[in-house]
Chains A and B, each alone.
Chain A
Amino acid sequence: MTASDTTQGPRRALNDWLGSRVSAWAALDRRVQQLQRGGNVNVDEALQAANDYRRIGRDLALAQQLGAPLSTTNFLARQYAGLHQVLTRPASRPWQDLRVLLQQAVPAAILQLRPRILWIAVLLLGTAAIGWILVTLNPALAGLVASRAMIDEVENGRLWTDGLLNLVPPAVLSAQIFTNNILVAISACCIGALYGLGTFYMIGINGFMLGAAFAFTRQHGLDGRLFEFIVAHGIVELSVIVIAGAAGLSLGEALIRPGRLTRRAAFEGAVRQAAAVMLVCIAFLIGAGVIEGFVSPDESFPLAARGVIGVCYMVLFVSVLTGAAWRRPAISAAVTADAVP
């Protein structure tokens, strides 16, 4: 036997094998492309795809072992990866996912975030107090948080929110408000990725502005009206800012102190937790925007009605966040248990 014979044998075997498989690969390629386009797949097609996946995996391993041309192994690797993506596509169960999110993920995340919520609330109130004190001591500092037009309005005994409905229809106003609020809340959370510093900055600025605005309006006897304006929507709105800040803080903390996890895994986990909470917060911000567009500027709503709306909305918000809204009372569970024979 010559050296040429010993090399020609495996080559011929490889060629024969390639020749025997190429039509199967072409058919498979068509099936993969069809599956990649999406749509419903029946049981037979799913089983066929699972079989194809195993077969193409085997072919790829064999091709690599036999030293098949690079273009062939690349071709098979692409087919294999394509099928992998099709087969491992997660099932779409949006309602079930939403239920799990609301009943389990959000309450669990809120429990984890509790200490940070407290600290961010302290930061907001602290900076609000600083804003209040500074503007009370030096009224000119109001220019830091309000435009010239707003200052003029207040100095003339009018709030900048007066007659808002004469200028913009409530629906447009609501849409503008909730879009802005959602962007602020999301920013307060996401910017926590900069090691939490961005969140501190945003919460601090918001607190300062709140305190300064109240101090400035108080100097002109309008603080009561400002409170009247914000009470219906502001309780939830401010709570959302605090919670968004707490979520942002958790992102920064995950990067600074990842614990046993890698920084990447800790950050990913913190983001998942924050995202669950922020989803609920955003839904409630839309509601707050609607209240701010339709109720807050409407002078026909008395303070008591605004207070009731604000408190009830906050109770609903808290009960959704803590999962209390979905929990069955213990008594009804006991009655149900008794009724089962």
Chain B
Amino acid sequence: MHEQGLKVRSRNIDSLRIESITGVDVELPLAGPGGRSYAFIIDWHIRVLIALFWLLIAMIIANVTGITADLVKFMIFGPPTVIYLFYHPVLELAMSGQTPGKRMAGVRVVTRNGQPPSIGAILIRNVFRLVDSLPAFYTVGLLSTLVTRDSVRIGDLAAGTVLVYLPVNSRKASQRQAVLATQTRLAPDEAELVSDVIERWPQLAPATRRQLAVKLLVRAGLPATDMDNFDDARLAAALRDLLVPQR
């Protein structure tokens, strides 16, 4: 597949649309300051934990071997500095634009063509952390994500990259498709509505979910009077049966 056939068509506030050779646009939801910060905080904690672990080991080695003070200083601060500086670029290279924090946040670095970033792009976006972290606590980077159209920091502007949510279907989403397509007798839009109510049942207020369930069951042809005596659990069961009839 050639890069020439791809170009960025337009950008919504929260997603990146890319023109594809098939004629159907690819849409990638952009990660905003929240998703970025979440991933960064996880990565920051991982780095701190590794550094602390190393500090412990280095102090034990220093005590046992009795090496010079300068060497101890170098041994204590050298590896954590290396981890601090190389954690992001090395892992983003090894994990195709992800780090453990980004993976947990479900985000990935991609180019503005939606492709995985090249080595050069990853190095550039990480080197520019020097500017993004100014004057402290990534203030420049955070402000940049708040004011730029694609919610990117200076490093991303420099490297031509963006942070997007992973286009991966969860197992739940796949199962839902199977139910909607093969196991229900309802029309697709109705099936989706019923499926939504079942999925959100525990979060809905009891009165609201009762009202919704009754309305959906009546629309499906069940007499409203029958449902007067239904308790909460029975209504939920009736909805499930409406979606996927039990044989």
Contacts and interface: CB of A to CB of B under 8 A. Distances in A.
Interface of A: 8, 11, 14-15, 18-19, 21-22, 25-26, 29, 33, 36, 38, 50, 53-54, 57-58, 60-61, 67-72, 74-75, 77-82, 84-85, 87-90, 94, 97, 167-169, 172, 175-176, 179, 186-187, 190-191, 193-194, 251, 264, 267-268, 271-272, 275
Contact of B181 (A18, A61, A84, A97): A18
A67 B188 CA distance: 9
Given A78-B167, A90-B115, A176-B74, A71 B177 contact: yes
B124 to A, nearest CB: 5
Contacts of B65: none
Nearest to A172: B74
A275 B123 contact: yes
B114 interface: yes
Interface size class of B (residues with CB under 8 A): 35 or more
A36 B168 contact: yes
A15 B188 contact: yes
B62 interface: no
A68 B188 contact: yes
Nearest to A66: B188
A68 B178 CA distance: 14
30 contacts: A11-B187, A18-B182, A18-B188, A22-B181, A25-B174, A26-B174, A26-B177, A26-B178, A67-B189, A69-B188, A69-B192, A70-B192, A75-B169, A75-B174, A77-B27, A81-B27, A81-B114, A81-B167, A84-B26, A84-B167, A85-B115, A97-B119, A167-B70, A175-B78, A179-B81, A251-B158, A271-B128, A272-B120, A275-B120, A275-B124
A41 B119 CA distance: 20
A82 B168 contact: yes
Considering the complex of A and B, which 7 residue pairs feature the smallest CB-CB distances, nearest first?
Answer: A81-B167, A57-B22, A69-B192, A18-B181, A22-B181, A271-B158, A57-B24
B26 A81 contact: yes
B76 interface: no
A88 B74 contact: no
Interface of B: 1, 3, 6, 18, 20, 22-24, 26-28, 70-71, 74, 78, 81, 96, 110, 113-116, 118-120, 123-124, 127-128, 130-131, 154, 157-160, 166-169, 173-174, 176-178, 180-182, 187-189, 191-192, 195
A38 B96 contact: yes
B181 A21 contact: yes
B58 to A, nearest CB: 14
Nearest to B164: A81
B192 A90 contact: no
B114 A11 contact: no
Contacts of B177: 18, 22, 25-26, 71-72, 75
A169 B69 CA distance: 12
Contact of B22 (A38, A54, A268): A54
Contacts of B6: 88
A19 B24 contact: no
Nearest to A78: B167
Contacts of B96: 38, 89
B131 A194 contact: yes
Nearest to B178: A22
Contacts of A85: 110, 114-116, 167
Contacts of A69: 180, 188-189, 191-192
Give the most central of A21, A50, A70, A85: most B CB within 10 Å: A85
Contacts of A68: 188
A95 B119 CA distance: 12
A75 B192 CA distance: 13
A87 B167 CA distance: 14
A71 B176 contact: yes
Contact of A84 (B20, B154, B169, B195): B20
Contacts of B128: 190, 193, 271
Given A26-B177, A67-B189, A275-B127, 8 more contacts: A18-B181, A22-B178, A22-B181, A60-B24, A71-B176, A85-B167, A88-B3, A191-B131
B181 to A, nearest CB: 4
B114 A57 contact: no
Contacts of A72: 177, 180-181, 188, 192
B31 to A, nearest CB: 14
Contacts of B119: 94, 97
A187 B154 CA distance: 14
Given A19-B181, A22-B178, A267 B110 contact: no
